[in-house]
Structure 1
Amino acid sequence: MGSLADDTIAGLLESPVKHKGNRAANRARARRIASRVPEVMVKITGNAKGADHVQSHLDYISRNGKLELEDERGDVIHGKDEVRALAKDWSQDQGKRRKNTRDTTNIIMSMPAGTEPRDVKDAVRAFAKRQFGQNHQYVMALHTDTDSPHVHLTVKSLGYDGRRLNVKKSDPQKWREAFAVELERRGVEAEATPRATRGVIKRGVSQVVHHIREKGQTPQVDQAKVREVLVDFRDQRAGQAPKPRHWEDRIKERQTYVRKAWLTAAKDMAQSRDPDDQELAKRIAAFVGSMPPMKTERHELQEEVARQLQRAQERQGREESKERDNQDER
């Protein structure tokens, strides 16, 4: 078989980390992705700023001392008093700081439902030791109160060397890949494929926004998006062209390329005499067919607002019809 499929797959799997595997490794990874092996999730949920905020966060992840915290030495912190003592200790050693200095970096690392929670915690422990253990204090807490077992990892920003943790844009993807490696070492199938490679357009929802929505409230960001959609509808009714959103065009272009590249690789492998290639070609074609629609959150909001407006118009039409019938009877 020619190298077209291999080159195409290599290009698709090249992440921001710029890690390239060999042909066999790339094919094995493509097979796992097409088979929808569980994807790891690593999300920076925020930062604690100031002593009160640090204490509040540690109270939250420990459920006010009911869940144990484990630090970088493997020591267990349990109970409200021990958690408060840890928060006080971290707050007394803040170094030089400005008003908005980030005293912690708060991370969630999780796997889909069905993963053994202990494996997730063990993998996070190994990851944290490799990534932060040389220079930073940290604590971790395993949560199993949702379908997806997850660990809250809180890293003290000020390092032993007096420098603060500087998280780069590419770091979360690097951490995802390192987390997946640690899971695989424990016999847990895991992948860390970038969203774009999986055909995913919508970004994840931040923890803050998620909590606000859970309370039945509308976050400011949602309100702003709805207002934007309503302005678009108003402009359309007035015969005005919608405002250009070049970033959406770039997303569509990227996703068109991703889908075409996967299908190109599948077509090339389907022509191979190797049964494994043919089987992988079928998996990839099915994988592309199951990719989510190329819609941003704004597009979904547009559709929802359109449905609400349509229902409102239909309701108004029924009320007007009923009123006319009543007038005719009189």
Structure 2
Amino acid sequence: MRLHDAARAFAAESFGARFPYVFALHDEGGHPHVHLTVRALGSDGTRLNPRKADLEVWRQRFAQALRDRRVEAEASPRRARGVRCRAEPMPVRKMRERWSEQDGRGPRVRINSHQRNGPSQRTAAPWEAKQTERRERIRRWLTVEAIALSRSARREDRALGLALRGYIRRFSTLKDRQMTLIRPDDERRPTDHQREL
């Protein structure tokens, strides 16, 4: 399988004989994926200590290994796709799924004191301004590209520019997980027993 071959090539290139590794291919419900485990202690005694930039390089290399095997893959960062929040942690997702299987309702959410009074009285966290600024920069850059494509003489470019404009509209309305918990003016105000949990 091409995914298996891409994972093998990526692991050999990235870790080689220096850091022993093992990987397994799963195809659960039409969602093929690879689990790769790398030993942190290298054969030369050094420890593997990846930084954030290393993880991004690895994602890019794996996507390239997939593309080399004619599998469409892209390794764009979340912020470039308009996603501000990280994926839901696996333990939280499993707990939510178990809860909803038991009684058909979702789990109760603890509402912090700054969220109880609604968005108008909520104080912004220090990192939110930086996230908003970065998001706006990306949106502006995408808008410039969409305009340039829409002015192209090539019909395919104009169609791509139109599709990019639609993406920008959706990109502008995406919210992070915390903001989805805060709805304006009692639209979804938690009950008292939900606040206590």
Name the CA distance, whole Å, in 2 between partners of 1:305 and 1:156. 51
Letter in 2 for 1:121: H
- TM-score, normalization: structure 2? 0.80
Query: CA offsets per residue over residues 177-198 of structure 1, 9 Å max, x none?
Result: 1111111111111111111111
Could you tell me how far 1:274 is from its partner in structure 2?
A: 3.3
Of 213, 228, 251, the match for 2:96:
213
Q: Does 1:301 align with 2:178?
A: no
Letter in 2 for 1:168: R
Q: How has the CA–CA distance of structure 1 residues 211 and 163 changed in structure 2, closer, same or farther, with 3 Å as cutoff? A: farther
Q: Does 1:248 align with 2:128?
A: yes
State how 1:28-47 maps to structure 2 within 5 Å.
none
Could you tell me how far 1:121 is from its partner in structure 2?
A: 1.7
Could you tell me how far 1:151 is from its partner in structure 2?
A: 1.0
Letter in 2 for 1:285: R
- TM-score, normalization: structure 1? 0.50
Q: How has the CA–CA distance of structure 1 residues 233 and 213 changed in structure 2, closer, same or farther, with 3 Å as cutoff? A: closer
* Greater shift in the superposed pair: 244-253 or 165-174: 244-253
Could you tell me how far 1:233 is from its partner in structure 2?
A: 4.2
Letter in 2 for 1:277: D
Conserved in 1, the CA contact under 8 Å of 2:83 and 2:176?
no
Q: How has the CA–CA distance of structure 1 residues 305 and 164 changed in structure 2, closer, same or farther, with 3 Å as cutoff? A: farther
State how 1:82-231 maps to structure 2 within 5 Å.
118-216=1-99, 226-228=110-112, 231=113
Give the unaligned 5+ runs of structure 2.
Answer: 101-106, 193-197
Q: How has the CA–CA distance of structure 1 residues 270 and 141 changed in structure 2, closer, same or farther, with 3 Å as cutoff? A: same
Conserved in 1, the CA contact under 8 Å of 2:24 and 2:36?
yes
Name the CA distance, whole Å, in 2 between partners of 1:154 and 1:234. 42
Of 131, 138, 149, the match for 1:258:
138
Q: Does 1:283 align with 2:163?
A: yes
- What SS is found at the alignment partner of 2:24? strand
Name the CA distance, whole Å, in 2 between partners of 1:280 and 1:236. 39
Structure number with greater CO (CA < 8 Å, separation at least 6) is 1
Could you tell me how far 1:308 is from its partner in structure 2?
A: 4.6
State how 1:44-55 maps to structure 2 within 5 Å.
none
Could you tell me how far 1:158 is from its partner in structure 2?
A: 0.9
Conserved in 2, the CA contact under 8 Å of 1:136 and 1:155?
yes
Q: Number of matched residues?
A: 186
Question: Which of structures 1 and 2 has the bigger CA Rg?
Answer: 1
Name the CA distance, whole Å, in 1 between partners of 2:184 and 2:118. 16
* Greater shift in the superposed pair: 277-286 or 297-306: 297-306
- What SS is found at the alignment partner of 2:31? coil
Q: Percent same amino acid among aligned pairs?
A: 33
Could you tell me how far 1:258 is from its partner in structure 2?
A: 1.4
Q: How has the CA–CA distance of structure 1 residues 241 and 300 changed in structure 2, closer, same or farther, with 3 Å as cutoff? A: closer
Letter in 2 for 1:243: T
Could you tell me how far 1:134 is from its partner in structure 2?
A: 2.7
Letter in 2 for 1:266: A
> Which residue does the alignment assign to 1:232?
114
Give the unaligned 5+ runs of structure 1.
Answer: 1-117, 314-330
Conserved in 1, the CA contact under 8 Å of 2:118 and 2:184?
no
Query: CA offsets per residue over residues 187-233 of structure 1, 9 Å max, x none?
Result: 1111111111111112112333333333329xxxx98x7332xx124
Could you tell me how far 1:246 is from its partner in structure 2?
A: 2.5
Letter in 1 for 2:60: E
Query: CA offsets per residue over residues 139-176 of structure 1, 9 Å max, x none?
Result: 11111124321111111111100111111111221111
